[in-house]
């Protein structure tokens, strides 16, 4: 399969390629054009890409740095990404929702009812160590798309953190499940889309939560 893909791309693009298949969640496609060859990293999903997608991909690689990602390729990545569903592999017994202070499931349920008409069917869990500081703000919470799983860092399970902050972080991760990411000109998946940012502001205490995080972030981040 990999060999076929490699031969196809090599022939269609007419370039010398160094091809790598990845399982990365954020980079479905990356191309680096170097002297005499192109370094291509493709997500596993491309192993089953239809011919027209491969042709467009080869055209993109051939065009070099100045080209932009063809629509067919973008659509293919977006569709494949949305189709991935590994939620059955989440082991309910390994989820931990009841914290020292916050009950994630109760928070999730109330947000689901208030903002999503109780339509969402996601799993949620605490993760991480309660006292270890984070390297970047991104990790307050995570949403794993194929698992339909929200992970909230245990640093937030603390008595001096306002209720609305934890609600906001959970709300933010829930939004990821309803706002489809898009793929930009370079094959990067953009998750905080304008639609996402607009919906984020619909959270009742958006400004309060945002302000609190800004004022207190040094506590959490290195
Ligand atoms: Zn996010």
CATH number at residue 104: 3.30.2010.10
Is residue 102 domain-shared with residue 42, that is, in the same domain? Answer: no
Identify the domain boundary among 36, 69, 102. Answer: 69
Q: Using the predicted structure, report yes or no on whether residue 210 has a pLDDT greater than 70.
A: yes
Report CA(219)–ligand 1 centroid distance (Å): 20
Q: How many domains does the chain have?
A: 2
Is residue 216 domain-shared with residue 169, that is, in the same domain? Answer: yes
Is residue 128 domain-shared with residue 47, that is, in the same domain? Answer: no
Tokens for 216, please give them: 């207190």
Q: How confident is the model at residue 135 (pLDDT cuts 50, 70, 90)?
A: low
The mean predicted confidence, pLDDT, of the chain is 90
Place of tokens 């991909």: 57
Q: How confident is the model at residue 153 (pLDDT cuts 50, 70, 90)?
A: very high
pLDDT at 222: 64
Q: What digits encode the pLDDT tens for the residues 75-90?
A: 999 888 888 888 888 8
Report CA(192)–ligand 1 centroid distance (Å): 6
Report CA(15)–ligand 1 centroid distance (Å): 37
Of 21-35, 112-126, 135-149, 196-210, least confident by mean pLDDT is 135-149
Could you tell me whether strands 149-153 and 141-144 are parallel, antiparallel, or unpaired per DSSP bridges?
A: antiparallel
Report CA(23)–ligand 1 centroid distance (Å): 20
Structural domain range at position 104? 87-220
Report CA(32)–ligand 1 centroid distance (Å): 27
Q: Using the predicted structure, report yes or no on whether residue 103 has a pLDDT greater than 80.
A: yes
Among the ranges 23-32, 59-68, 99-108, 186-195, which has the highest mean pLDDT value? 99-108
Cα–Cα distance measured from residue 43 to residue 49, given in angstroms and rounded to the nearest whole number = 11
Is residue 51 domain-shared with residue 151, that is, in the same domain? Answer: no
pLDDT at 120: 97
**Cβ 208 vs Cβ 214: under 8 Å:** no
Q: Using the predicted structure, report yes or no on whether residue 46 has a pLDDT greater than 90.
A: yes
Report CA(140)–ligand 1 centroid distance (Å): 9
pLDDT at 86: 83
Identify the domain boundary among 69, 96, 117. Answer: 69
Q: Over range 164-183, report the average pLDDT.
A: 94
Report CA(172)–ligand 1 centroid distance (Å): 6
pLDDT at 137: 53
Report CA(95)–ligand 1 centroid distance (Å): 21
Q: Using the predicted structure, report yes or no on whether residue 39 has a pLDDT greater than 80.
A: yes
Q: Over range 194-206, report the average pLDDT.
A: 97
Residue 5 gets the label, from left (phi > 0), alpha (psi -120 to 50) or beta, of alpha
Q: How many angstroms separate the Cα of 175 from the Cα of each of 78, 121, 162, 166, 170?
A: 17, 12, 20, 14, 9
Identify the domain boundary among 69, 103, 128. Answer: 69
Report CA(50)–ligand 1 centroid distance (Å): 31
- Domain-embedded: residue 202: yes
Is residue 65 domain-shared with residue 92, that is, in the same domain? Answer: no
Report CA(4)–ligand 1 centroid distance (Å): 36
- Domain-embedded: residue 162: yes
Is residue 57 domain-shared with residue 114, that is, in the same domain? Answer: no
Question: Which of 186, 165, 185, 189 is CA-nearest to residue 176?
Answer: 189
Is residue 65 domain-shared with residue 135, that is, in the same domain? Answer: no
Report CA(210)–ligand 1 centroid distance (Å): 13
Tokens for 24, please give them: 């990365």
Cα–Cα distance measured from residue 88 to residue 179, given in angstroms and rounded to the nearest whole number = 21
Is residue 57 domain-shared with residue 133, that is, in the same domain? Answer: no
Report CA(46)–ligand 1 centroid distance (Å): 26
- Domain-embedded: residue 65: yes
Is residue 40 domain-shared with residue 136, that is, in the same domain? Answer: no
Is residue 155 domain-shared with residue 189, that is, in the same domain? Answer: yes
pLDDT at 221: 72
- Domain-embedded: residue 77: no
Report CA(65)–ligand 1 centroid distance (Å): 29
Of 22-31, 101-110, 135-144, 183-192, least confident by mean pLDDT is 135-144
Q: Over range 71-77, report the average pLDDT.
A: 91
- Four-residue CA torsion sign, 6, 12, 17, 19: negative
Report CA(173)–ligand 1 centroid distance (Å): 6
Q: Is 134 exposed, middle or buried (0-12, 13-18, 19+ CB in 10 A)?
A: middle
Is residue 177 domain-shared with residue 109, that is, in the same domain? Answer: yes
Percent of the chain with pLDDT strictly greater than 70: 95
pLDDT at 134: 67
pLDDT at 81: 82
Report CA(17)–ligand 1 centroid distance (Å): 34
Q: Using the predicted structure, report yes or no on whether residue 1 has a pLDDT greater than 90.
A: no
Is residue 110 domain-shared with residue 192, that is, in the same domain? Answer: yes
């Amino acid at each position: 399969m990999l060999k076929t893909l490699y031969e196809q791309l090599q022939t269609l693009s007419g370039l010398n390629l160094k091809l790598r298949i990845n399982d990365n969640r954020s980079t479905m496609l990356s191309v680096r054009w170097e002297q005499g060859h192109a370094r291509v990293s493709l997500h596993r999903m491309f192993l089953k890409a239809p011919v027209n997608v491969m042709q467009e991909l080869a055209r993109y690689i051939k065009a070099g740095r100045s080209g932009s990602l063809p629509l067919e390729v973008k659509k293919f990545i977006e569709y494949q990404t949305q189709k991935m569903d590994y939620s059955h592999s989440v082991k309910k017994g390994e989820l931990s929702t009841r914290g020292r202070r916050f009950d994630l499931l109760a928070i999730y349920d109330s947000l689901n009812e208030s903002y999503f008409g109780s339509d969402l069917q996601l799993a949620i869990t605490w993760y991480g160590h309660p006292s270890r500081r984070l390297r970047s703000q991104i990790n307050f919470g995570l949403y794993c798309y194929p698992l339909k799983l929200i992970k909230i860092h245990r640093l937030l399970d603390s008595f001096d953190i306002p209720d609305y902050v934890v609600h906001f972080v959970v709300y933010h991760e829930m939004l990821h499940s309803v706002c489809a990411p898009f793929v930009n000109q370079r094959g990067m998946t953009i998750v905080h889309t304008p639609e996402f940012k607009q919906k984020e502001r619909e959270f009742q205490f958006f400004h309060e939560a945002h302000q609190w995080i800004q004022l207190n972030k040094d506590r959490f981040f290195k």
